[in-house]
Amino acid sequence: MSTRRIVDLLRTGQPNQTVTVQGWVRTKREQKEFCFVEVNDGSSMVGLQAILTPDLPNYADLVKRLNTGASVEISGTLVESPAKGQRIELRSTAVTIYGEADPETYPLQKKRHSFEFLRTIAHLRSRTNTLGAVFRVRNACAAAIHQFFQERGFLWVHTPIISANDCEGAGELFTVTTLDLKNVPRTDDQEIDYSQDFFGRRAFLTVSGQLEAEIMAMAFTNVYTFGPTFRAEDSNTSRHLAEFWMIEPEMAFCDLEGNMDLAEAFLKHIFKSVLEQCPEDMEFFNQRIDNSVLATAENIINSAFERITYTEAIALLEKADRAFEFPVSWGLDLQSEHERYLAEELFKKPLIVTDYPAAIKAFYMRMNDDGKTVRAMDILAPKIGEIVGGSQREERLDVLQRRIRELGLPEEDLWWYLDLRRFGTVPHAGFGLGFERVVQFMTGMTNIRDVIPFPRFPLSAEF
Ligand code: 4AD
Ligand code: MG
């Protein structure tokens, strides 16, 4: 007799089979002659119903102590269930309680709790239906991502978390230091003397693994990163985290078209695979969180993404029959309201916007012949806005150097990046997918803080 995952028993368990399950009590229903206990081990939304009968040793005491949240091991025999909605249940022959949960103080009682409240108990919230479903879907997304790239021969490369460059140039960096903050060493001109710091220079938590991924792509052709990234953006929105996970493929001998094609195939694969792996969880999101998630997923899988240039997007926004909070004009960055209008209302599907003005994009993007726009691409999704940001990279040494100087970036710090253009440079391209944004998109969860187990955002780093 071995311990079995509840999801497997629910799918394939047979009457008369003897099994042991372990998990946490979700609900207890006491009847006159027996007691029902639903046990959940996190492997599926639905738990296994166990029946406890008075012939069990210490029956009355067990029933008293088996409250919501208690941890148990139950052995018994599977029987066909007469109840609606479940195929089998467990006739219990032995019950061990590992830890009780006091019903007076255990915060997860049967009623519905707000997501805001659940965030304050992030150490317990994964035991709820919704967060349980979110983290199973998150896991399925991660597996689908690796599968997609591994099947295509991309090498998973591990780029550093501590970095000395600001890839995106947005200055949203967390400094990593061991300097004594009460007694910070200063240079003669009163600047902080980072030469005395741990790394002998100023270091940060990375905002993106892209520049290092480019190095690796110049040796392995096709690579991807999948890791945590950090941004000290003081934005308290439902789409921003200070610590989030990003997937960044980088491809040598690839242009923007190839980049867009890969990104589109990639998103389609993730959605398809999660629908296959987590049908019950996705059904739950459709019923309880957002009744459009299944239709949206089908739409993503089955229809080609729209592709327009930034200049065309601006023209469409200027024609829109509505007043936007932020102004629209050529040269200004698209705000979330603009992105959502385009994807959600106008096209009603993901849309790829290309060729943004150079002035609002990062230094590494390839300059177009017009000298004004760069080979950038953002994928905008209904409800979320930007979900992917990418570009073809500037592979021409002289053009890149000019751009770095124009922007006043520290050329000496980027010597190795420029070397890639000196030695065997090739056209190359890549993009970054915000992992939490794709999980949000998939599940319909409105707040990004509810799709990562322990969210970090301004004024919050608990758990
Ligand atoms: O558009 P971003 O800033 O692009 C880059 O970092 C490039 N280096 C990617 C590349 O070309 N390799 O970020 C990429 C994606 C965004 O589209 C968004 O989905 C997500 O990362 N993202 C965030 N997600 C959650 N919280 C934040 N604060 C985010 N900032 C960006
Ligand atoms: Mg971006």
- Can you tell me the distance from the alpha carbon of 150 to that of 107, in angstroms, rounded to the nearest whole number? 42
Q: Does residue 132 line the site of ligand 1, with CB under 6 A?
A: no
State the ligand closest to the CA atom of 393: 1
The pLDDT of residue 169: 85
State the ligand closest to the CA atom of 214: 1
Q: Which of 437, 439, 440, 445 to mutate to test the pocket of ligand 1 (most atoms within 8 A of CB)?
A: 437
Q: Does residue 241 line the site of ligand 1, with CB under 6 A?
A: yes
Instruction: Give the angle 418-423-429 at the CA atoms, nearest 5°.
Output: 65
Instruction: Report yes or no: 313 and 385 within 8 Å, Cβ to Cβ.
Output: no
How does pLDDT run along the chain (463 residues), one tens digit per residue?
A: 578 899 999 999 999 999 999 999 999 999 999 999 999 999 999 999 999 999 999 999 999 999 999 999 999 999 999 888 889 999 999 999 999 999 999 999 877 899 999 999 999 999 999 999 999 999 999 999 999 999 999 999 999 999 998 888 888 999 999 999 999 999 999 999 999 999 999 999 999 999 999 999 999 999 999 999 999 988 889 999 999 999 999 999 999 999 999 999 999 999 999 999 999 999 999 999 999 999 999 999 999 999 999 999 999 999 999 899 999 999 999 999 999 999 999 999 999 999 999 999 999 999 999 999 999 999 999 888 899 999 999 999 999 999 999 999 999 999 999 999 999 999 999 999 999 999 999 999 999 999 999 999 999 999 9
> What pTM value is reported for the model?
0.96
The pLDDT of residue 201: 95
Instruction: Characterize the bridge pairing of strands 203-205 and 162-163.
Output: antiparallel
Atom number of ligand 1 nearest to Cα 378: 17
- Can you tell me the distance from the alpha carbon of 151 to that of 266, in angstroms, rounded to the nearest whole number? 12
Closest CA relative to residue 129, chosen from 108, 104, 102 = 108
E strands, 173-319, are 175-176, 203-205, 222-230, 243-252, 306-309
Residue of minimum CA distance from atom 17 in ligand 1? 388
Instruction: Report yes or no: 342 and 351 within 8 Å, Cβ to Cβ.
Output: yes
What b/e sequence results for 23-45 when a residue is b if at least 16 CB atoms lie within 10 Å of its CB, and e otherwise? Answer: bbbbebeeeeebbebbbbbbbbb
Residue of minimum CA distance from atom 15 in ligand 1? 434
**Cα Dmax for the chain:** 84
Atom number of ligand 1 nearest to Cα 246: 21
The pLDDT of residue 362: 96
User: Given its phi and psi angles, is residue 183 left (phi above 0), alpha (psi -120 to 50 degrees) or beta?
Assistant: beta
Q: Does residue 431 line the site of ligand 1, with CB under 6 A?
A: yes
Closest CA relative to residue 185, chosen from 200, 173, 174 = 200
Residue of minimum CA distance from atom 26 in ligand 1? 240
| Secondary element (H or E) of residue 95 | strand 88-99
| CA 15–ligand 1 middle distance (angstroms) | 50
| Secondary element (H or E) of residue 50 | strand 48-52
Residue 28 tokens read as 């207890």
Residue of minimum CA distance from atom 18 in ligand 1? 434
Q: Does residue 25 line the site of ligand 1, with CB under 6 A?
A: no
The pLDDT of residue 384: 87
